[in-house]
Amino acid sequence: MTLTGHVVVAGGASGIGEATVDALVDEGLCVTVLDANREAVARAEERWSGEDVLVLACDVTEEDEVAEALDQAVDAFGPVTGLVNSAGIACDVPAEKTTVETFRQIVDVNLTGAFILCRAALDHMGDRLSIVNLGSVSGMRANAGRVAYGASKAGVTLMSQVLANEWGGHGVRVNVVAPGPVDSPLIARLHSPEDRKVWTSRVPLRRYGRAADVANAILFLLSDEASYINGHVLTVDGGFLAAGIIRDG
């Protein structure tokens, strides 16, 4: 793949974001990592010490913090050519037990935070920009327990398609990667052993994905090989969305 420039990865200190940063570093890119978890930020600074990686603590829901972080990023590595919105939170709670506070918090981080970063990246881009927002199969199917998370990720998909429409003429591509069940810290907190059995039984490949599987899809959409792909949703789900009746064995 042909990848050059400076990529900002929000939520880049763990999980899918971390795997994406690893892959970008392997490709020789300059990377700015944004993450709200200060412990994870400290680990990330140590992990990528000596690489062209700038790690910053940043709350993606705060416009001023995001703008200041991207100012620092541009000072360090030049205009932003890629953005990966991987910062996210989730819960697995029935709708009637989901509080309004929880609903608002999840939408604020997953959807509003992504929008804030997309706008900020537009202000800090050079002559081109590729944005990859993390959606989810739970934003495309009504999975039980995901009323807030699913709504936020469905919003990410439509938001991304509107931005692809409005910004395409300005040298900006906006796409979505929608993972299915992936072994990550987020899923480890949500899925019990019984949950894993249920999800695995619905996935034709009969396994959870790896963070690197999702990172590979993200890198493709960032790359020059995807230069005519805009407003697309790429599922990385082992066939979950496509599956109908799955036979045992």
Q: How confident is the model at residue 118 (pLDDT cuts 50, 70, 90)?
A: very high
Instruction: Please pick, among 149, 167, 199, 208, the residue that the annotation labels catalytic.
Output: 149
For residue 185, what pLDDT is reported? 77
pLDDT for the residue numbered 249: 60
- Whether 228 is a known active-site residue: answer no
The confidence band for 244, taking pLDDT boundaries of 50, 70 and 90, is confident
**Average pLDDT rounded to a whole number, residues 226-239:** 98
Cβ of 158: how many Cβ atoms within 10 Å? 13
pLDDT attached to residue 71: 98
**How far from 80 is each of 18, 155, 176, 202, CA to CA, in Å?**
18, 24, 18, 39
Give pLDDT tens digits for 151-175: 999 999 999 999 999 999 999 999 9
pLDDT at 195: 81
Give residue-wise pLDDT tens across range 94-117: 999 999 999 999 999 999 999 999
- 149 within 8 A of 91, measured Cβ to Cβ: yes
Predicted confidence (pLDDT) at residue 187 exceeds the cutoff of 80: no
pLDDT in tens, 47-58: 999 999 999 999
Indicate the pLDDT class of residue 208, thresholds 50, 70 and 90.
very high
End-to-end CA distance of the chain: 37
Pick the residue with more confidence: 197 or 132? 132
Q: What is the pLDDT of residue 193?
A: 85
For the residues 123-132, what does the mean pLDDT come to? 97
DSSP string over 55-75: EEE--TT-HHHHHHHHHHHHH
The residue-averaged pLDDT of 35-45 equals 96
